[in-house]
Amino acid sequence: MPNKKATNFEEFEAELLKKPGIRREYEALKPKYDMIRSLIERRNQLRLSQTKLAEIVGTKQPAISRLEKGDYNTTLSTFFKVASALDLDISLKARSKSKKTYGSASLTISPIVQT
């Protein structure tokens, strides 16, 4: 039986991202998953369960779970409600999909600072 070496995830990912079609899809989804990761990190930082966060937002725990999995088409309104409950500010900026420069793109999620 041949001795197979386990695949390192980073190597696997790097190999996949060499393919233009996969890279395009990856880059298109990256802002969404970066936002989700930030929300999860903040929820954990605040030591809130999904159930408690759902109570604060006025929804049910399965809705928070679906948002955090990223496999459900969550509305921007829901993202903003959850961010607000986590004392986070979300900033979005539109950009052109073409190579022409019509503006820039940014996604910023940061704790709200009281002044």
Mean pLDDT score of the chain, rounded to an integer?
Answer: 82
What distances in angstroms separate CA 101 from CA 24, 106, 107, one per listed residue? 18, 14, 17
Give tens-digit pLDDT for 84-107: 999 998 887 777 766 544 444 445
Average pLDDT over residues 7-29: 86
**What contacts 72, CB < 8 A, 6 or more positions away?**
66
Is there a domain that residue 46 lies in?
yes
- Other beta carbons within 10 Å of 74: 19
18 pLDDT more than 80: yes
Dump pLDDT digits (tens) for 25-70: 888 888 888 889 999 999 999 999 999 999 999 999 999 999 999 8
Q: Which domain holds residue 65?
A: 9-95+103-111
Q: What is the pTM of this model?
A: 0.69
Structurally, the chain folds into a number of domains equal to: 1
**Whole-number Å distance between alpha carbons of 45 and 47:** 5
In a domain, 4, yes or no: no
Two structure tokens written together for 47: 């030591």
Establish if 1 belongs to a structural domain.
no
Asked if residue 13 has pLDDT above 50, the reply is yes
Q: The domain spanning residue 30 has which CATH number?
A: 1.10.260.40
- Identify the pLDDT of residue 101: 44
Distance (Å) of CA 89 to CA 60, 81, 111: 22, 10, 6
Per DSSP, the three-state class of 107 is: strand
The pLDDT score that the predictor gives to residue 104 is: 42
